[in-house]
Amino acid sequence: MRKSPLATGLLLACLLSSTGLVRAADPGTEDPNNWPQYNRTANAWRYSPLDQINKDNVGKLSVAWIAHGGDITMGLQETPIVIDGVVYSISAGDKVAALDAKTGQTLWIYEPKLDPLNKKVLFSPYSRGVAVGHGMVFIGTVDGRGIAIDQKTGEEKWQVQLTDFANCHGCNFTSPPTVAGDILTFGSTAGELAAQGKIFGVEAATGKKVWEFNTIKQDPKSWPGESGKYGGGGAWMPGTYDPETQTVFYGTGNPGKDFVPSEREGDNLYTDSVVALDPKTGNLKWYRQEVPKDTWDYDAPYEVLLFKKDGKDLVVHMNKSGYVYVLDKNTGNIENIWPISDVKNFVKEINRKTGELIERVELPMNKETLICPSTFGGRSWNSGAYNPKTGLWYNDVLDFCGYLKPVSQKVDPKDFGTGHTGSNDFGRLVMAPDGRKPGKLSANDPITGERKWSVDMDVPGFACVLTTGGGLVFNGDPMGKLQAYDADTGKVLWSFNTGSGMRGGIVSYSVDGEQYILVASGWGSYAALLMPALLPQLEKVPAASTLIAFKVSK
């Protein structure tokens, strides 16, 4: 018997109201039971609409299962992907595993044989995730390859060498590709490398490379003389694919040498920019450079969020400087610019309408200059999360500074372990001059920047934030403290010691009617190497590579 459209609609409405699910049309609520891509949805909000775990019962959250990834080198930096009851995970050495999302039991493992050169390069052996689509799991490897694995069996389907790994100062992939329809886009590392960073377009079905976009513009005004030869840039975090306009958005890396702009006397396009690309061709639709002729390592690889507000299609993007750029999604025109913190001195201000950097602080050679925020930024690369129910965007703000000292440096692309930075170090970290705590969890309106609440932290967060339909914000710190906050007020509702610090992503999914919170625990990355100079307690944090799943026991 065929049901009438009205009856079907009523049935659907009843179903939705009885299960507490939200309407499928609401942005950020698509595919509610899964975490199918790096920032969950195409708008990159990192919002799970699931509400079974909520303010009333989060205190009863307990461990459902634990899984170990193996190699702990540089920690566990991934955001796991969860689709239809299966977790897809990647740990050090680009080791990929599929796990049963109810039990944590391993279903299959894939481990590529890596080029031994990866032992010498700056950015290895970590990865920030996998991508899933077309029945395959896709990874970008630390030796510059794209690899496709059968989603069900773990068998390799194809692989393609994309970067010239041995001849580009070890430029490689530390993040997953972005699935943009039939095309995968891979963004390479390059900001601290004597190389030109690229974004590659690859056929998802076959692995055939179809285009590459050079983040170093071939333009003598932008890069006089030979200055662009090792200009850096790249795009070392995942892009955002917008199916509505068939556009892939990437934030790009910094120019090199990082701290010596006098050796590159142009605006250094397309570094420190948001670029909007046609994934079919790699053609540039528009760009917005946030920091022309960067001097302070304020690159722009962070997540690109999409919003619709008052009839406008908008992009929201945080630069490492801590300034947030609100742009027209179709043109890149500036709608607003606001700072996530007032711990900033590299400029007096940034013009909210034009983007002009007002009263830049330049760095004299061979002399230390105090710059705020530090080279870790006003926030690190770990994504924030936006909750449409509260209208708030939650971010781990870093409120500390660093002394930068540019020095002359020979360029040798075969010197794989030395950063193309024009410095001996990456900034001597110090607390903010006013003595405030080194960071906070901050809840802001993403368009205006208005702060509703914040919670100061003795050790600031370096993990991606999660917010849910249950009115919660989950955040993990480097000491191992995982906490659930009231999304409206910032009140701590639950806390758990994961045994190691968090640097990856926290996600939520549902299997057989039960909601889970899944946490990547394993302190690592350059933050683990450098931050103990500022916060000595971090020296003692145990390393790990652990996935911990939580649920409310029945």
Partner 1 sequence: MRNIAALAFAMLVLTAEAVPIAADEMSNLKDPKIIAAGHAVFLEKQCAHCHGEDGTGGVNLARRVLDAKGVFISIADGREKNGIRMPAWREVLTDQEIWQATAYVLSISKTR
Choose one: 61-69, 156-164, 272-280, 532-540; the region binding partner 1 (CB under 8 A): 532-540
Closest separation in Å from C-beta 75 to partner 1: 6
d(CA 464, CA 50): 18
Choose one: 259-267, 337-345, 447-455, 540-548; the region binding partner 1 (CB under 8 A): 540-548
Nearer Cβ to partner 1 (409/515): 409
Distances (CA, A) of 39 to 30, 495, 505: 12, 24, 9
Expressed in angstroms, the distance from the first to the final Cα of the chain is 38
Among residue numbers 427 through 446, which ones bind partner 1 (CB under 8 A)?
428
HEC assignment per residue over 196-218: EEEEEEEECCCCCEEEEEECCCC
Q: What are phi and psi of 8, to 5 degrees?
A: -60, -40
CB atoms within 10 A of CB 9: 11
Nearer Cβ to partner 1 (401/528): 528
Q: Does 367 bind partner 1 (CB under 8 A)?
A: no
d(CA 246, CA 185): 13
Closest separation in Å from C-beta 530 to partner 1: 4
Handedness of CA 488, 492, 493, 494 (dihedral sign): positive
Applying CB under 8 A, which of residues 125, 301, 322, 439 lies at the interface with partner 1? Answer: 125
Nearer Cβ to partner 1 (167/331): 167
Closest separation in Å from C-beta 99 to partner 1: 21
Among residue numbers 61 through 90, which ones bind partner 1 (CB under 8 A)?
72-75
Nearer Cβ to partner 1 (222/500): 500
Which residues contact residue 152 at a Cβ distance below 8 angstroms, ignoring those fewer than 6 apart?
135
Q: Which of 92, 74, 145, 139 is nearest to 115 (CA)?
A: 145
Choose one: 138-146, 194-202, 280-288, 529-537; the region binding partner 1 (CB under 8 A): 529-537
Which residues contact residue 65 at a Cβ distance below 8 angstroms, ignoring those fewer than 6 apart?
102, 103, 104, 548, 549
Q: Does 539 bind partner 1 (CB under 8 A)?
A: yes
Nearer Cβ to partner 1 (40/503): 503
CB atoms within 10 A of CB 412: 11
Task: Categorise residue 184: left if φ over 0, alpha if ψ from -120 to 50, beta otherwise.
Answer: beta
Length of the chain: 554
Closest separation in Å from C-beta 425 to partner 1: 4
Query: Which tokens go with 9?
Result: 């609609």
DSSP-derived 3-state class of residue 545: coil
Are 341 and 397 in contact, with CB atoms under 8 Å apart?
A: yes
Nearer Cβ to partner 1 (301/522): 522
Nearer Cβ to partner 1 (59/542): 542
Closest separation in Å from C-beta 540 to partner 1: 10
Q: Kindly provide the b/e burial profile for residues 159-171, where b requires at least 16 CB atoms within 10 angstroms of the residue's own CB.
A: ebebbebeebbbb
Applying CB under 8 A, which of residues 20, 135, 225, 542 lies at the interface with partner 1? Answer: 542
Nearer Cβ to partner 1 (10/529): 529
Render 88-122 in DSSP notation, one character per residue: EEEEGGGEEEEEETTT--EEEEE-PPPPGGGGTSS
Closest separation in Å from C-beta 71 to partner 1: 8
Q: Does 121 bind partner 1 (CB under 8 A)?
A: yes
Among residue numbers 458 through 497, which ones bind partner 1 (CB under 8 A)?
none
Total residues interacting with partner 1, rule: CB under 8 A: 38
Choose one: 83-91, 222-230, 489-497, 521-529; the region binding partner 1 (CB under 8 A): 521-529
Task: Categorise residue 353: left if φ over 0, alpha if ψ from -120 to 50, beta otherwise.
Answer: alpha
Applying CB under 8 A, which of residues 65, 186, 523, 550 lies at the interface with partner 1? Answer: 523
Applying CB under 8 A, which of residues 106, 418, 454, 489 lies at the interface with partner 1? Answer: 418
Closest separation in Å from C-beta 192 to partner 1: 10
DSSP β-bridge partners for residue 197: 233
Nearer Cβ to partner 1 (334/398): 398
For the chain, counts of helices (H) and of strands (E): 2, 39
Are 249 and 287 in contact, with CB atoms under 8 Å apart?
A: no
Applying CB under 8 A, which of residues 49, 292, 438, 522 lies at the interface with partner 1? Answer: 522
Among residue numbers 368 through 407, which ones bind partner 1 (CB under 8 A)?
407
Closest separation in Å from C-beta 545 to partner 1: 8
Distances (CA, A) of 468 to 66, 134, 228, 317, 445: 22, 28, 44, 21, 17
Q: Does 528 bind partner 1 (CB under 8 A)?
A: yes
Nearer Cβ to partner 1 (342/412): 412
Nearer Cβ to partner 1 (428/436): 428
Nearer Cβ to partner 1 (116/513): 116
Among residue numbers 235 through 294, which ones bind partner 1 (CB under 8 A)?
none
Q: Which residue has the tokens 């031994």?
A: 116
HEC assignment per residue over 292-361: CCCCCCCCCCCCEEEEEECCEEEEEEECCCCEEEEEECCCCCEEEEEECCCCCCCCCEECCCCCCEECCC
Nearer Cβ to partner 1 (120/208): 120
Nearer Cβ to partner 1 (67/441): 67
Choose one: 5-13, 137-145, 148-156, 522-530; the region binding partner 1 (CB under 8 A): 522-530
Binding site for partner 1 (CB under 8 A): 72-75, 119-122, 124-125, 407, 409-410, 414-419, 421, 423-426, 428, 522-524, 528-533, 539, 542-544
